[in-house]
Each structure stands twice: as C-alpha cells, then as structure tokens.
Structure 1
C-alpha cells in the first residue's frame, strides 16, 4: 500500500515537472513567435516605413559636387551640409579596412548582417564587453534610420529595423561594398563627410595615401566623432587611436613591435579646411558656381527626370582647366609680393604723412561720398534694408556702433572691436590684385587669383573688376598700325609735341598727350623703342594715322566686351578692361593672330560618370601671323631694354630705391619674353602683361578706389606693383619642369614679310615706309 502511494506521488511529481517543462517550451515558442511576429510587423512597415528594394539598390545620400583640376587634384566642392565624395573599396588602403574590422566588427566576414555571438555577449554583460552592432547594422542606422529618444520601446524598434535592413544590405551588396559605403557615409566632423573628405581635411591626403596611424585615428573617430575631434581633443584622439592600434595587434593585423612604435608617434594633424571661403582657387570656384547656376537653369541641361541638377546634392564632377600646381604658384606669388607692397603703402600713408589716408588728393566731401557709397553697397546695408526692413536712419546708426569682429591682416586674422564704418575705412587701405594665366593655343586658363583673400575681399578682380588699362593698351594701337600701314618695329618716328585736332575722331577738344615725364626729346625713335619706353607722343601719332575705330574693332575681335568709345585718348589706355579680357586679347598675339576664348571647364559628369557637358573651343582669325609676330617682337623690347628689363636680372639704380618691395628680384629670366607694363593717371592702376610661347599671364594691382594709390611713380608704376608678381610666378613655374612652360623663342612665320630685326640691315628690295611726320598732327595751341 505504501508503495502504491509512493508511486502515485512520484507520478504526480513527474506530471507537475512535465507541466513546467511544457509551459517553458510554450513560452519559449511564444517568445520565438513573438520575435518573429515583431520582425514580420517591422518588415511590413507597421513600426515605420522601411526602404524599398529600389532604395536599397540606390541609397540616397547627398553628394557634394567636386571641382577637379587639369592635373587631377580636387580644388574644392559645392555642398550644403554634406561635404561628401564617395570612393570605391579599391581606393581604401588595406590597413584602413583592417583597422575598421578589428575595432568595430571582428567577425565581419563570418556573419550575414547580425553577429549572434556579439548580440548574446552584449545582452549578458549589458554592453560592458563591447556592443552588438555590426558594420552592416551601423551602416543601416546611418543610411535608413534616425536617432530616437531614450524611450526604451523606441530604441528596441529602431534596433529591430537596423537588423532587418542590415540583413537586406548583406543580401544586396558584397562585404567590400558595405565597407566602402560605411566609410563614405560617416560624418568625421569639421565638414569631413566621408573618408575622402576626412583624409583631405585632417591630413591633406587622398584615402589611398593614408598611413597606418592616420587610418587608426580616423577609425577611432567612429566611436564618437564629436568627442574624438582632433582639433578640440587631441589627447583623447591619440588615446583612442592607440586603442585601435591595440585592436589591430589583437587581431594579428600588426605585430607587437609595429603597435608599440606606431603608438609612440605623436598625433600629427595637417588641417586643410574645406569650405567655400577657404582653400585653393577660391575666386575661381565662386566664378564657377555662378556659371554652373546658369548652366543648370538651362532646360537643355535638365536631368532625365526633368528636374534641374543640384550642384550641392547631386555629386557632379566638374573638370576644369586650372592646374593646381600653377594655381598654388600664382597664389604664393601674389601673397609674397602684396604683403611687402602693402607694408610700404602703410608706411607712406600714416595720418601724419597723409592726412586724407588712405586716399590721396581728395576733399573731405569726396571722402564722405566714398564711405557713403561703400556703406550702401555693403551686404550689411542690403540685409538690413531688404530682409530686416529697417529705415535708413537706423541702418546708418548701426554702422557707427562698435561690435566684435574678425579682420584681415597680412600676419593673420585678428579679433578686434570696431564699428562697421571703421572697418570700411580699414579695408580701404588694402591694395587689391587680379591675376590670370592662360595657354593661348587652347584657351585653357591655368591660374586665376581674383584677390588677396576671398574670405575678406570677395570682389573678383579677374572677371568682375574692370580698370583702366594704361600703357598695356598700346600694343593694340601698334598692331592696328602695323596691319594697316605695314609698319615695321624698325620704322622711326620723332618724339615731338603731338596733337590730334578737335572733332577729327569725335573728340570735342584737341588731344595733346604728354610723355610721363612731361618732356619731348625731339629724337627719332623706332617703334620698338617707343613701345618699350611708353613714348606717348609716338603712340598718339600712330592713333592719328589709323583712327580709333579700327583699334576698337580689333580689340572687340580679341574678345574685349567692355564698352569703348572710339576716341583718340583710348591710345593711352583710358578704357576700363578686365584682367580676363586682357589675357584673352594678348593670347591672340601669342597664338599667331588667332583668338581663342578663355576656357575654364572641359567637361561635366554626373555621379555615375555620364558626360553631361563638353566644351567646344570658340576661335576666330583676327590678325595675320606676320602682324601678330611683329607685335610680339615689339613687346620683347619691353623686357629687353624697357620697363620690364628687371626680369632679366640686371641690377638698376631705380630698383635700388625701392628694392624692399621688389620681391624675388633678381628674377634672372633669360628666355624670350614679350610683355608690357601699364600705369594709369595718379598711379591708380599698375599692370603687367607677360607672355612666353605657351603661357600668357596678366596682373593688375590697385586700390578699391582710384583715390587709393601711391604718391610717386617709383612705387606706383606697373613695373613695381604688378611685374614682381609675374616674375615670382614664372620663377616658380619654371622650377617645376613637369609643367612644361616654354623657354623657346616665339615661332617665326615662314616668309615673314615685315622686318623685325632692327640690328640687321634692311633688304634692298624691301619697301620703305614713307611717313609725313608733320601731316596734320603738330598743332600749336
């Protein structure tokens, strides 16, 4: 009986145990079903929309448009919030990929989007021994999910979404493609969106050139780029980098000696900020932005879906003619000379030496008009008037209130407190410059410097600015005379008092120009000598022979778009012309009489490499080869014995006076150079146009206002203000033989019919030009 009771109890106990087991499996199955249901509901979009197959195939990320130089370097980018340019997996160095896997996902190649062991470890140890997110999950979070609040339910739902998307990504892409996408999507801070921007901004390198310690630093930033910001937290970043190096050692990507030696290297950042106002070729990039806005607005250039291309989001690649090496040379030349020239200008324009500084020869009323005009043209005035709708009285008052600001100096930016009106006066002291360099045969623009600092001086003096050309205009007069009168550089004219009578060419009054020194020698000068030494009387005589209209017609065919009145005074450079136009026009002489319109963009591609635009050269025949070559030979005289002779390295007494501003002298250039200096009235503008067979470069220097200028021609002439920039630039370009800048002579036309070598006797059968020097030009008033 007792045994039966015992069996009954045992049976009852077993049944009770089986009941618990059954309930356990029921609960376990229910849990599994619940998880499956949750995943199903999530995949059906109950908890929020998931990306479709099409979106997974083409993830939508904002891509910056990239400006690429002719030598394959990135000049800059256009972007709103995301400075991102994607790279392929093949462009990532192996140690960069190894650092990522060792630090973020050790079993990356062994799972299919979700690391079960890592998830279990994270759950058991509550994340204290590493997180559970795989690289695929982190990519899913970056691409397709948003940051949520600390609500636990929302966090769980987000994590479920990440799992589903990670699995889908693993099905859709290879492991290598996922790694590349992850590197491309991450925000490394300081406008460094994606690995390419990060490598360029923090190290000035392309991703493929990153070394191991640089790679480790960038991978370390994946933990938290805001916390591990090398500019704000260098110690923390270095420590985090060493953690990554240790992980690489742990995963056998580095040996112990390599880890220890790399960890001992100090954190070295070579910061290259990428913004619209910083970097290389800033003025050119701003010109290009305006050009692209017009190009994208043309319906013929719309996207296949009928929408306009967005230069900030669509990842266009704009291939330009700018050579990054020549651009750097140009910017360095401008900086080196203008810094010294400005220092001398400050010395000569103290309030004690010049009570009207920074202006010369102006009345207090004129000074006030200049400041009033500058206020009304400022962005501050426009914003207060048009956006804030402030009355004029309040706007003017705001210009007199002191505020903290950052101002430009040649020693670096300076924090100060001054009123906006005082800042206008401060910036009026600074001399400005514009420089452009072009290959005349193709029209390809190789360098473009629109000013001394784009952040603080945004007006582009290459394309926007037009200033009086001074004596750099004279070659157009000489070329017209050679073309029409068949003159030779060896033909002689007298340096005597010369006038063009009133109303002869639309001039109301007689025009009787003086030479720069106000004297007339009475000697006979060849055209070559007259141009080299800017003898105004002979230029006036040539203008009287040909008339101003043919000269205007010539420069119009040479691409000068400025409105120019056909009056005699244009012979001395009174028209306002841009550096851009002058370089294009002078290129006609170097290109044997054929004008080629300057080209800045060769082609545009979309993000997939489809060509959207290709440039077509715009050319026209303007002069015969003989006339073009003869004009070039005339301008060679400028650098042989005229105002440009200092390029040859011969020390001159006039240079000794102001040698402190002739940066880089002696330039010691021995090759054939054609050029022309130019100086306008009161020394307001200094020009130099310089040419070798395959490069034409123009430089202008002056104040924002014509009343800002040097008092004496010693400092204010083009040979002092502009020529040194050209000399420095060419020395730098010649130092880099890979640039291929010519040192050869200009190509001489076959069967040249014009005598250009004045030291050689004229051929017996050569026609002699007979000129009546007294015909209608010497008028005594």
Structure 2
C-alpha cells in the first residue's frame, strides 16, 4: 500500500490533505470541546438546570391573573402533557427521537445529500429535539464566519451530555418548558394559557398542533397575527402525525376541518385583567422580597425565580367590575364632552393645556437636553402617527402632535373602584382607572380627592355617639359661619327655610345646611376623633366645611372607614396578598388581615346608621338604584359630589360587600359642566349599579347578593319613629332669623339629648 502511494505523488498529496483536514477538524473540535470558543456546560451543571421562571399572581380561587417575568415561562411536569401534544412534536420535529442518542446521523446524511447536494427542500432538517433543547437553553453567540459551525458543534456536545443525564421523557419535559413561542412567550404552559386560555393538559388535538406548528417560525406562524397561515401550518403538523402513524388519515382530515379559534389572554404588565391591581402587587412583593433570601443567601428575584403570589382577588367579580366601569364610562364620556361643546376647558383654558404639556415626558426630555422653550414647542407641534386611547376598540392611530395628544387625554374622565369583604378587608375587585396602557395613575392606591358628601355619615355617626337623638330636627335654613362661609343645598330642599328635618331624612337627602349644623352641634373635634376611630389617617381640617367632605382621602382609606358599618363597628384595612411561595410551594411569607381591635362606635349607632343609609337608597339621593337599575338587594349607600362638580362618589354597602366608586378628571381643575352630569348619583353610582346587576345574574355571588341586614330591634325601631320633617309654627316663622335659628337649636338640644337617653334606657319621654 505504501509502495503504491510512493509511486503516485497525487495520491500521496491527497492523503496528506485528507489527514491534515482530519487533524484540523479534531483540533478545531477539541478547541470547541475544551472551551476555547466559550465554556460548554459540564454534566454536573446540566444536572442543575435552572431557567428564568415567571412569578405567577393568582386570584383567590387559584386562577392566574398575571405574571412578572423577563421571559414568560411556567414550567410543568411531563405528566401534564397530553399524549397528542408529545406525538405532534415528535412527528414534526424529530421522528426518530426515541432511536438516536441526541445526534441523528441518518438525518444528517439525508440533509447533506438531499438538501445540500441535490437542493431538495422537502428533505427536512437534521436537528433533533435534544439539539434544539441545547439551543433553547444556552442560545447562540456570534463567532463571525464560523458562527454556525461553532454553535452547532457546541450544541452537539451539550445534546450528547443531556442524553446521558436525562431520560427521553425528561428531555421532552425540558424542551416544552424552554422552547420559545410567539409574543415573548416561553414554554408550552405559558403559550397554552396565552393563546387558548387553558392549561396544557386541556389542549385539544387541533390546539396542540397549532402550538407545535408555531415552533418552525414563531412570528411567521403567530395565530394572533396570521391566523390563516397558522391554520395551514397546523394542518401540516396533523399530516405529519398521520404519516408517522400517530393518527389515521381519516382522523387527520377530520381535524383539519376544525376552525382555528383562539381565546387570547395577555399577561403583559399593562394588558389583561386587573392591571392596576397587579402593579400594586408587584410593588408590595418587591418590597417584601428585599428582606428575604433564598437557600444560597441571595435575594429572590420577582422576574426570575418563579414565585407564586396568592391574593384575595375574586377573578369573576374583577371581570364584572371592569365591564361595568367601561360600559358606564364610555357613555358618561360622551355626555361630558357634549355638555361642554366648543367651550371645553381642555381647549379653551390655555393654562391647563400648557401645564399639562410641560408635565409631559416628551417636554421634560427635551428640556433636559437643553432646548429652549421655543425649540421645545416647535418640536412638540410636529405631527406623527400616535396611538391614542379610545373607548371604541381600546385605541386608535392618528397623525397628531404631542400637544394634540396631551389635549386628547385632558378631556377624559377617569374612574376608580374598590370592593372589599368588610369582615377582613380582603380585596374582591380593584379598578384603578379606565385603561392602564394609557393612564398609569392608580385612583385606588395613589389618588387623593375631596370626598364630598360621603363624609357626612362620619358626622352623623359622631352625632349619635355624642348623644344627639336621631329624631332631632334641624332647620334647613342657610347660616353664615364665622369665616363668612354660607353653605347651601344643591336641591330644592332649601326652598322653604322654615322646614326642619330629622337626621335620617337629612342624611338620605344629603342636605348640606343640616350636615354642617349637626357637625357644629356635635363638635368639630368630636367628628375628627370619630373619623380616626374609623381608620381615617389623612389630615382633616378643623373647619365647618369638613362636614361637606372638603378633606381629601384615598379611595382605599374611604373604603376602610365604611367597612366598620358592615363589620360590627370594626374597620378593616384593605388587604390583598395572603401568601408568597417559591416555585415548589414552600411558604416564604404570609399575611393576615388588619382589623381594628376597638369598636369605632356602638352597635346601636351602627344599626341606626345602616338604617339611615338604607333610606338613602330607598328614598334619598341613591333611589335610581331601585327605579332605574331595578336592584332589590339590601343596600345601604351614600352619594357624594364635591365643590364645582369636580368629583363624583358612591359608596355601596351590603352585609357582605363594601364597594366604593369614584369618577372625575385626572386634572382636578376640570370638573363636570353641571351637577346633573357630575353628581355622584349620575357619575359614580351607575358603576356600582351595573356591577350589582351582573352579580345578581350570576348564582356564584348569591352569598353576597342575597344577604340581608338584620332589622332594627323593637326598641331602636321605636326610637326612629318620628315624622321625617316638621315646619316651624307661626311664631317661630314670625321671629325666625339666622341668630334666632341658632338660639332655637340650643334651646332644643338638652331636651333632645334627654329624650334619646330616656328611650335608650327604657324611660318614657314625657316631652315627646
């Protein structure tokens, strides 16, 4: 043999070249194997695979409401994969999966001869599931002109090691938990939830084929963007299953006839259900994690460590609350804009517009870059395609300037809703605004607004606690106080200054003049003290106007105060995170409700106040709950409207639920054009009303909707038995005046207190 080579120089050189190439190949492969081009994970490291995992936020029933992630991934076990999903993957991506050890040499030869030499595009690929898994886990780096070769060889080494460490089933499990799908989604469970709103174990044959088909090119076959293209790819997967004997041809053809139907659920931070709530949860959990360390002594990462956050949120009620809010707000917005017409403050009031422009991120960015005012305004006047919020379809793209965009958002009303279980403060529904994508400010947790007449029950509660009889009569007559302030009533109740009303009637009809008189007789200090007992911590001005709700509170704080009426006098602070677990279910942190230990008022006062606020619904300012929305539930409530119609409020109380709604403009200088539109009964109450209608139609809420307040006891009912109003007699009218009216109240004060206590302790009041 050697003699023949010596006699043929060309053969000699060919052999030298061949041996040189083989040597170079092994040297090149060795340089890759031993990490010259980057370290390849060892077998030990591969046994400890740890991928970034999304933190899940769960509703009270365990339903997923959102996730925090860099890569949207939720690992699950092999046992949770339906058989047809596994078969679809193998038939499409690696038909000889159970026959090779990570590298399918037969497939590689086929690819080399048919695809490369014969240019046959139907030859298929040579990549195995194990090779794809290696790529999914470690990605690929840029090595220039040798990149594809180096990456492929590295993946081959990793694939062989994976096959030595893991069983075939475990490799399938790892693959499905790491493979990328469309819309920044990683892993089959996340993809299944996102595109079909169901767990992987529940996927039908056709749905499994859609997801497997997506793996060839996740964007190109995205069923949300390209449904027809995705359907055709699905059919290819079904036919591959038939060719590999996982389906009969008849079964495949029948499956191909099924339509492609998505139930798309976005779990991005600004889309999907309860985005304002999820953002608050993210802030709170991040703060908790700052004080927790894992077994390695490192802080937990909310975006990487696959934690599970359990909350009190009622998934279905949250859906209904968001629906109710959008249904009402889309109609109210039309009324709001129509009422102003061409005189809208977001158009006419240049100061409001200029202030908003200067607060905009674009203006602040240009200012930071050192541009002059004139240069900034010139840039802000340039038009460009912009996505704008719209109730029709959620958004619209228009060619507008930044200034146009700012004016567009100034016109919108916003809203907040918080519904809690009064017994423990557990949040059932949380709506912080009309659309989190465009309005990030949370009107539940962040916003402080004047609360208007929703503060009046605090005044009346303090009055009862300080001995004022619920059957005391107060004149509706206007009075000017020391600071020159003269409160008036917004309705016709003030037309007859000689009329007097008892507490129940005055509260149910929300009479301003009487509320202030009750405050002054009770004592401003006593009212503020009562508010503190009910959990209100914000500053409360010690002025007469506090009776009309000039204090600014958060929606959350107001809700907490009202829980005391439905929770035996104990207020409950809204709470929403019950516990935090790691991915294996180990408890990391647990949280308990915050319920006040001391009663804010007596049980008799509580029952009387509930009765008085039921009158608000049955015969007072909230009667449209009955006549317009047809609600027959036991409901106590209070409407609220602030000065110049800037804010509309409604508080709805049932034995098992306290729900507070607010409506107004983000810029407090923009109010409603008139009281007819802006009053709480018209602006905020309908959100609660629509929510209750939806809950009444769902038997799952029967424990809330069918709950009833206990009737007043005989003694308390007798105490409340008095005419709703009385008119001054001839001599009182003849000598009536502002000073005379005040003197009259002082003269009656002791008599009414005496009557209250006599009836309370069983003594007959001879004066009544």
Pairwise TM-score range, normalised by the shorter structure: 0.7 to 0.9
In 2 relative to 1, CA 379–288 (structure 1 residues): closer, same or farther, beyond 3 Å?
farther
The residue number in structure 2 matching 1:331 is 322
- Which residue of the other structure, out of 160, 163, 167, is the alignment partner of 1:170? 163
Contact 1:137–1:166, Cα closer than 8 Å, also in 2: yes
1:371 pairs with 2:353? yes
Q: Does 1:717 align with 2:679?
A: yes
Structure 1 runs (4+) greater than 6 angstroms displaced: 11-17, 23-40
In the alignment, what sits opposite 1:159?
Answer: 152
Q: Which residue of 1 aligns with 2:103?
A: 114
**Mapping of 1:5-16 within 5 angstroms?**
none
Asked if 1:410 corresponds to 2:391, the answer is yes
Q: How does 1:700-779 map to 2 (within 5 A)?
A: 700-739=662-701, 740-747=703-710, 754-755=716-717, 758=720, 773-775=744-746
- Distance in 1, Cα, partners of 2:434 & 2:175: 39
* Alignment partner, residue 639 of structure 1: 617
Range with bigger deviation, 240-249 or 65-74: 65-74
Q: Distance in 1 between matches of 2:618 and 2:684?
A: 18
Distance (whole Å) between structure 2 residues aligned to residue 772 and residue 123 of structure 1: 107
Measure how far apart 1:451 and its partner are. 1.2
Q: Say whether the 8 Å CA contact 1:79–1:311 is kept in structure 2.
A: yes
**Residue number among 196, 204, 209 corresponding to 2:197 in the alignment:** 204
What RMSD in Å do the two structures reach over aligned CA positions? 3.4
Q: Deviations over 1:283-336 (max 9, x none)?
A: 22222233234333x4x2244444443322222222222122111101100111
Task: Give 1:39 deviation, angstroms.
Answer: 6.3
Distance across 2 between alignment mates of 1:759 and 1:339: 43
Equivalence map 1:260-659=2 (5 Å): 260-296=253-289, 298=290, 300-351=291-342, 355-358=343-346, 367-386=349-368, 388-412=369-393, 413-485=395-467, 487-488=469-470, 491-497=471-477, 499=479, 501-502=481-482, 508-509=483-484, 512-514=487-489, 516-517=491-492, 518-620=494-596, 621=598, 622-648=600-626, 650=627
Which segment drifts farther, 737-746 or 276-285?
737-746
d(CA) in 1 for partners of 2:41 and 2:19? 30
Separation (CA, whole Å) in 2 of partners of 1:197 and 1:537:
59
CA distance in 2, matches of 1:12, 1:712: 108
- Larger deviation: 476-485 or 400-409? 400-409
Q: Does 1:686 align with 2:648?
A: yes
Tell me the secondary structure at the aligned position of residue 305 of structure 2.
coil
Summarize deviations over 1:131-162 as a string: whole Å, max 9, x none: 222211210121124155684x5434433322
1:752 and 1:563, CA in 2 relative to 1: closer, same or farther beyond 3 A?
farther
Aligned with 2:186: secondary structure? coil
Per the alignment, in what secondary structure is the counterpart of residue 639 of structure 1?
Answer: helix
Q: Distance in 2 between matches of 1:540 and 1:12?
A: 118
**Structure 1 stretches of 5 or more lacking a match?**
1-10, 18-22, 503-507, 651-665, 762-770
User: Is 1:693–1:742's contact at 8 Å kept on the other side of the alignment?
Assistant: no
CA distance in 1, matches of 2:479, 2:670: 31
Structure 2: distance between partners of 1:430 and 1:463: 20
CA change 1:318–1:753 in 2 (3 A) is: farther
The normalised TM-score by structure 1 is: 0.84
Residues 440 and 587 in structure 1, CA contact (< 8 A), matched pair in contact too: yes
The question of whether the paired residues in 2 share the 8 Å contact of 1:498 and 1:540 is answered with no
1:125 aligns with 2:114: yes
Secondary structure of 2:193's match? Answer: helix
CA distance in 2: counterparts of 1:434 and 1:588, whole angstroms: 21
What secondary structure does 1:350 align onto? helix
Counterpart in the other structure of 2:128: 134
Q: Distance in 2 between matches of 1:698 and 1:225?
A: 44
Q: Which of these residues, 52, 65, 68, is aligned with residue 78 of structure 1? A: 68
Residue 146 (structure 1) aligned with residue 136 (structure 2)? no
2:752 match: none
- Give the secondary structure class of the aligned counterpart of 1:485: coil
Alignment partners' CA distance in 1, 2:607 and 2:643: 30
Work out the CA distance in 1 between the residues paired with 2:2 and 2:147: 46
Per the alignment, residue 764 of structure 2 pairs with: none
Question: 2:568 is paired with a residue of what secondary structure?
Answer: coil
2:760 aligns to what?
none
List per-residue Cα deviations over 1:12-40 (Å, max 9, x = no partner).
999999xxxxx999999999999888766
Structure 2: distance between partners of 1:67 and 1:389? 43
2:39 and 2:452 map into 1 onto residues whose CA distance is 68
In structure 2, do the counterparts of structure 1 residues 427 and 226 end up closer, same or farther at CA, with 3 Å as the change threshold?
A: closer
Once the two structures are TM-superposed, the CA of residue 681 in structure 1 deviates from its matched residue by: 2.1
1:223 is matched with 216
Q: Is the 8 A contact 2:271 2:437 kept in 1?
A: yes
Q: Alpha-carbon deviation of 1:687?
A: 0.9
Q: Distance in 2 between the 1:559 and 1:260 partners?
A: 66
Distance of 1:609 and 1:582 partners within structure 2: 35
How many residue pairs get aligned? The number is 719
The residue matched to 1:110 in structure 2 has which SS?
Answer: coil
Distance in structure 1 (CA, Å) of the matches to 2:40 and 2:192: 32
Question: C-alpha displacement at 1:225, in angstroms?
Answer: 1.4
* TM-aligned CA deviation for residue 181 of structure 1: 1.9
Q: 1:12 to 1:603 in 2, by over 3 A?
A: closer
Q: Deviations over 1:81-115 (max 9, x none)?
A: x1222222233222111111111122323333233
Contact 1:499 1:511 (C-alpha < 8 Å) held by counterparts:
yes
Q: 1:165 to 1:573 in 2, by over 3 A?
A: same
